[in-house]
Amino acid sequence: MNKNNILIPAQEVPILREAEVVVAGGGIAGLAAAIASARCGAKTLLIERYGCLGGTVSGVPMKWVGGYNATIHGGIMAELIDKLRQADGIIREFYNENVSGYMVGMYIDIFKAVALKMLEDAGAELLLHTLITDVVSEGREITGLVVENKSGRQVILGKRFIDATGDGDVAARAGAAYWKGDEESGKMQAMTHYGPVLEGVDNEVLLDYMLKYKDKYPEEIVEWSTDLPRFSFAGFSRLLKDSREKGIIHMNYDCIWISGEIGTNRVTIDGSFIPFVDGTNVLDLTYAETESIKQITSFVSFIRQNFPGFENSHRKDRGGFSIGVRETRRVMGEYLLTEEDILQGKKFLDGIGCNCTPMDIHSSRGHQSWTQVKTYDIPYRCLISATIDNLFMAGRCISATHKALASIRFIPCCVITGQAAGTAAALTAKRNVSLKKLDTNKLLTELKKQGAILKASNV
């Protein structure tokens, strides 16, 4: 032992489970991957560190599916939306040109139930409250995942592994090549905790005030929409600066979003904003979580003190249990999806699905930038590790540049990459075919059978 490290004795670890396909991470991408794999007949195990499925959806909670387009996003994504509608799990839907598709608001408790039933009906096994801490490897292949939970330490064996952790945790522990953050600066997009919903608001009074404010200070409103009965405004830098100087608010940026609907007494305000942090560093995560709590508390005080209509308001929701991380590791695949591919609407022979959501970047200055894109394909090669022979990626850790990630990290695209990774994992495991030698025509045929849309009808 030295002052910086200690030696932990070797330990014989029990094998808890063995599966053909092991999915790491029960977020929206991992959920789709596990469902697809099990439906293809592979013995599938999904491992999730929290007590429910959904990841960012359930934890932040990200109640909105942003940029959903039924002509582009099919398969499990479309099925999930349909099942939520049938279960009265949709709060409301409306078209938002900023995200080139529909915003679909979900009741999180109903989403959790629908997600669980889809997984169980598919026949996949689930392991909750389990953290992946290491991998067991032989050469360029992973043979097992080391996990820890209330029962202690165990090993999960498998043939194919899908990293849907968001942060590329399995890939990193296996020694896979990856990038992190912006290619030049290394900085990652800011983290956010979803803002609270306030009830008891007089929305007619609020809207009247905001329209007058916009007329008086047009340069302060950076985004606004009054497609009644819905309305939303973003900006108010003067008010924020004044409140910050008075110590009313605890935040370091100059923009706030407020949205609501006439005829209701509810509004949603945007969440916290934590720049210059690394979601793979526990000290940064701890800071981000605590800072986020302080920001959201001061948000509510700021709103109530500066905007009429909030005199009788109160918080409706209980908030999430984890901060939302937009960007960390992106694992090197057989192809690197770039912003040029996205802006050009590039098509690929091995395209496993398509996407149209914009490149949405939350910068260190507290601003949000939107770059509209053409409908583009996501190639299968972005889902397979270039350095680990039996590892797939799904969700925001697929092989993409910093700016390309800003588009593929949206929920619909994460489901698409998850479904494709799960299907490919099952096909390669059952046929004993390497990831790189999989006949992509057979993969695409199978995805079409599952209702995936490989070519958008509007392009």
In this structure, the number of other CB atoms found within 10 A of the CB of residue 286 comes to 11
Is there a single domain that holds both residue 274 and residue 374? no
Does 220 fall in a domain?
yes
Q: Report whether 357 contacts 457 (CB < 8 A).
A: no
Amino acid at 103: M
Residues 171 and 281 in one domain: no
Residue 192 lies in a domain: no
- pLDDT tens for 53-100 read 999 999 998 888 999 999 999 999 999 999 999 999 998 888 888 888
Question: How far is it, in rounded angstroms, from Cα 50 to Cα 45?
Answer: 15
What token pair was written down for 31?
């959920």
Query: Is 417 inside any structural domain?
Result: yes
Q: For 43-47, 369-373, 421-425, which range has the lowest pLDDT when averaged over its residues? A: 369-373
Q: What length does the chain have?
A: 459
Question: Looking at residue 458, what is its pLDDT?
Answer: 45
Beta partners for residue 94, in sequence order: 103
166-182 average pLDDT score: 97
Give the pLDDT band of residue 109 (cuts 50, 70, 90). very high
Residue 306 pLDDT > 50: yes
159-173, 314-328, 350-364: lowest mean pLDDT where? 314-328
Between 225 and 419, the higher pLDDT residue: 419
Q: How confident is the model at residue 32 (pLDDT cuts 50, 70, 90)?
A: very high
Higher pLDDT, 155 or 257: 155
Q: Is residue 456 part of a domain?
A: no
- Asked whether the whole model's pTM tops 0.85, one would answer yes
Count: domains in the chain: 2
> Two tokens at 32?
């789709």
State the average pLDDT over residues 195-209: 91
For residue 394, give every residue at least 6 positions away whose Cβ sits within 8 Å of its Cβ, in sequence order, or none. Answer: 29, 30, 32, 33, 162, 163, 164, 383, 414, 417, 418, 420, 421, 422
Residues 163 and 287 reside in one and the same domain: no
Q: Does the residue 357 lie in any domain?
A: yes
Write the pLDDT tens digit of every residue in 355-373.
Answer: 999 999 987 655 678 899 9
Higher pLDDT, 52 or 370: 52
Q: Verify that 258 and 332 share a domain, yes or no.
A: no
Q: At residue 235, does pLDDT exceed 60?
A: yes
Please tell me the predicted confidence (pLDDT) of residue 225.
77
- pLDDT (0 to 100) of residue 237: 84
The reply to whether 300 falls in a domain is: yes
Both 214 and 163 in one domain: the answer is no
For the chain, helix (H) and strand (E) counts, in that order, are 12, 22
Q: Where does a domain end: 315, 340, 369?
A: 315
Q: Are residues 24 and 141 in the same domain?
A: yes
pLDDT at position 302, please?
Answer: 85
- Residue 410 to residue 418: CA distance in whole angstroms: 12
Higher pLDDT pick, 438 / 250: 438
Among 255, 287, 315, give the residue marking a domain's end. 315
Copy the structure tokens of residue 310.
């909030």
Task: Answer yes or no: do 96 and 23 share one domain.
Answer: yes
Q: Taking the mean position of all CA atoms in its chain, how far away is CA 353?
A: 17
Domain with 305, as residue range(s), is 197-315
Asked if residue 457 has pLDDT above 60, the reply is: no
- Compute the distance between CA of residue 32 and CA of residue 54 in angstroms, rounded to an integer: 10
CB 333 within 8 A of CB 364: no
CA distance 44 to 35: 9
